[in-house]
A = this chain, B = another copy of it.
Amino acid sequence: MESLQALKQRLTEIDDLRRATAVLSWDQTTYMPPAGGTARGRQMATLSRLAHETFIDAETGRLLDLVARETESLPYDSDEASLVRVTRRRYDRDRRIPASLVSEIEENAALSYQAWTTARPANDFERMRPYLERTLDLSRRAADCSPGYDHIMDPLIDTHDHGMKASDVRQLFHALRARLEPLVQAIASRPQLDDSPLRKTIPLETQLRFGLEVIRAFGFDFTRGRQDMTRHPFMTRFAHGDVRITTRSRDNDVTDSLFSTLHECGHALYEMGFDPSFEGTPLAGGSSSGVHESQSRLWENLVGRSRGFWEHFLPRMQAIFGRDLDTVSVDAFYRAINRVERSLIRTDADEATYNLHVMLRFDLELDLLEGKLAVRDLAKAWRERFQASMGVAVPDDANGVLQDVHWYHGLIGGQFQGYTLGNILSAQFFATAVQARREIPDDIRRGSFGGLHDWLKENIYRHGSKFTPAELTKRVTGNDLSIEPYMAYLEGKYRPLYGLS
């Protein structure tokens, strides 16, 4: 097992560079002063390039071959066989990508992000255009490193949601849209729910304090993580013992910071939960974007927007937030946080309309990558399609094409489909958990989350990225990915809320 040790040591050194890059990126998006951006982009590019060069070096392949031979008799789901399998898959993929391209992508992402932080508040899409054109070019070049695809987005999707192609996503989205749109239309025909209980201004520190209390109850370990403020919330891992989440807050919305905190906590619980022996290897981290998102959405929505959750936490929130919330009932509050409305911002969207936002972005990405849509026409296309699909006029680019950080801090293509895959999987996993542990809904009503957290650790988290999303879904639920549990969840929640038969 000497070669296994040598392989792990090599992978850990590569991971050290990647985690360091994550620290630099976290700092850029939380604390870095504006003039630090240029150097930061260069520094991150250097670290990423070095990590990539070391990983794709023939020595990694040699060690992989050695370990593969030594471990070939071990079962498929053993740690050793899984390490070889997952590392080999990434090695084969990454070897096709030149280090210079990795470096260009990283530097462009950092500089583009830096520009976005001021261009979005200034509603200045034109300023982002050159960055975005370069990003589109880099995205195409990244995809072209894996020739032989059916669709140019396939390699980009595969990086985040291994095993899926653009055609699979299209088909899935088509089926989901056919079920979602009638529900959203039926809801729109009913009297709107009142969300005025949320429209209070609570001091930021008070909001944060409550959010931290909730995620502590969820199982977030503060000796192994912390929360900071940012523009576009995210979770990042620097080590098994150091998982960071970020949040934002907005005036006049008592739950804005909270739901972003619960969302990122879901990601963090996943990253805090893998087998510690995976640290430093590709087995650390989640199975895919979709599975990762299933955990953020599970804790944010299936737990955090449930009536049972608020039976326990509304009194706590009232005790902490004080007078402004004193008079609201659990029912009124539950209705307020579940109001369905075609709105402008994806991250604010309710559970019923959320996926329509994702589909819009996915379709735009397809058109951009296929060359059907030019970046210079993107803002206009956004406004037109948003109006057509949501029936809402986009007042400005800040609330339109500039709203999400993704295209301005990475590549175009590969990221958005994960959100909807996550929504679908969140319901499928949660239904399985409740079937296995019938007490979970009552636990939630009592503010007790240990049973749910343990089940998720045992069935999902501890495996890290040992299994592909398809394998994991089958292992955990006994079925392939299906929209049925998700639609059952949505129908079961929103029909009573809106008095639909």
Chain A residues in the interface with B (C-beta under 8 A): 12-13, 16-17, 19-21, 23-24, 27, 31-40, 42-43, 46-47, 50, 221-226, 228, 238-242, 279
Contacts and interface: CB of A to CB of B under 8 A. Distances in A.
B46 A241 contact: no
Contact of A31 (B13, B33, B36, B226): B226
A238 B46 contact: no
Contact of A224 (B27, B36, B223, B226): B36
Contacts of A16: 42-43, 46-47
Contact of A42 (B12, B24, B224, B225): B12
A238 B20 contact: no
Contacts of A43: 16, 19-20, 238-239
A239 B42 CA distance: 10
B23 A27 contact: yes
A7 B150 CA distance: 45
A223 B43 CA distance: 19
Given A16-B47, A24-B23, A39 B222 contact: no
A13 B239 contact: no
A303 to B, nearest CB: 24
16 contacts: A12-B42, A13-B46, A16-B43, A17-B50, A19-B39, A20-B20, A20-B46, A31-B226, A33-B224, A33-B225, A33-B226, A36-B241, A37-B241, A39-B239, A39-B240, A40-B242
A172 to B, nearest CB: 37
Contacts of A226: 31, 33
Contacts of A46: 13, 16-17, 20
A226 B13 CA distance: 31
A242 B33 contact: yes
A391 to B, nearest CB: 42
A224 B35 contact: yes
A16 B107 CA distance: 13
A17 B47 contact: yes
B240 A33 contact: no
A129 to B, nearest CB: 24
Contact of A36 (B24, B39, B242): B242
Given A19-B43, A20-B43, A50-B50, A242 B35 contact: yes
A224 B222 CA distance: 31
A223 B34 contact: yes
A50 B24 CA distance: 17
Nearest to A228: B31
Given A20-B21, A32-B242, A39-B279, 18 more contacts: A16-B43, A16-B46, A17-B47, A17-B50, A19-B43, A20-B20, A20-B46, A20-B47, A27-B27, A31-B228, A33-B226, A33-B241, A33-B242, A35-B221, A35-B239, A38-B239, A38-B241, A40-B239
